[in-house]
Amino acid sequence: MDLIIQGLSKTYGNGVKALDNVSLTIPTGMFGLLGPNGAGKSTLMRILATLQEADAGTVKLGDIDVLNEKDKVRRVLGYLPQEFGVYPRVSAYEMLDHIALLKGVTNTGERKGLVEALLQKVNLWEQRKRRLSGFSGGMKQRFGIAQSLIGEPKLIIVDEPTAGLDPGERNRFYNLLTEIGENVVVILSTHIVQDVQELCNNMAIINKGKLLYAGAPNDALKGLAGKVWEKSIAKSELERFMASGTLISNKLVAGKPVIHVLGAQRPEEGFASVEPSLEDVFFSHIHGSTNAPVNA
């Protein structure tokens, strides 16, 4: 079941165009939505989650009109927002049982089996009696995934899920999302390139409400093959390269800027050709849309 977005636009009252005629087809599996803060990712997620109205466009999930059949969407939707509230004094089991009841699982035995299965799935069974206030960031995110899976959703939306997680928690979360994404549409909205590189077979990049790229990460990498050049430079040289219009990104290594430059040929002496990364793909598209380099 594909999610088909056509001509989606949203402008806020202050004149900010959060989405500008976005068209995108999202197939079953893990789909990464990349963009810097303020790119329009969260606006798109809220519209798809029926929490916000679009100004124009259409969205279809199979035969469901997402913009006009919100009740139908909510029956097949799992949503994990960037921040979600829980009752801190309630245990994980009690909270999940309550959410399942709110989602229409009224049979006590059926609900008990569902809650137990979900807690096992997200590896929280041993912590089921623990208050949610005592959960780590990663445990809260795994609980969030559990609640999003109630009702066997066809579309799961996950907004900035790994921000603030330590490497171990992030890897556990990656594994969980990968398992979930085998049979349903999972949209992973993030500004962390590694999330998409680790998880997604398809991706899109948006900035300032515009769709800049849509396709497979490997295809994007192939498009930059032989065109990314790296050099360590003095800080005094940075301004010159920033003005050149070819600088993709720069980062400090041992106190000196290491820059990546985009070009069909070696820019000048001292540059080495490097294998492009998904960060290079991301920064090159953002650079092209803003006419300004992005600091890594």
The whole-angstrom separation of Cα 3 and Cα 42 is 17
Q: Give the pLDDT confidence of 68-120 residue by residue, as tens digits.
A: 999 999 989 998 887 666 677 899 999 999 999 988 899 999 999 999 999 99
Triad 31, 52, 29: Cα angle to 5°: 15
Q: Give the pLDDT confidence of 252-278 residue by residue, as tens digits.
A: 998 899 999 999 999 999 999 999 999
The whole-angstrom separation of Cα 111 and Cα 129 is 17
Residue 31 has pLDDT above 90, yes or no: yes
Chain mean pLDDT for the chain: 89
Residue 294 has pLDDT above 70, yes or no: no
Could you write out the DSSP letters of every residue in the chain? --EEEEEEEEE-TTS-EEEEEEEEEE-SEEEEEE--TTSSHHHHHHHHTTSS--SEEEEEETTEETTT-HHHHHHTEEEE-SS----TTSBHHHHHHHHHHHTT---HHHHHHHHHHHHHHTT-GGGTTSBGGG--HHHHHHHHHHHHTTT--SEEEEESTTTT--HHHHHHHHHHHHHHTTTSEEEEEES-HHHHHHH-SEEEEEETTEEEEEE-HHHHHHHTTT-EEEEE--GGGHHHHHHHT-EEEEEEETTEEEEEEE-SS--STT-EE----HHHHHHHHHHHHHTS-EE-
In terms of C-beta distances under 8 Å and separation of at least 24 residues, what long-range contacts does 121-125 make, across chains too?
121/146, 121/149, 121/176, 122/146, 122/176, 123/172, 123/176, 124/92
Residue 12 has pLDDT above 60, yes or no: yes
Q: Give the pLDDT confidence of 212-226 residue by residue, as tens digits.
A: 999 999 999 999 999
Percent of the chain scored above 70 by pLDDT?
96
Domain ranges of the chain: 3-221, 222-295
What's the CATH architecture for 3-221?
Answer: 3-Layer(aba) Sandwich (3.40)
Residue 157 has pLDDT above 90, yes or no: yes
Residue 292 has pLDDT above 70, yes or no: no
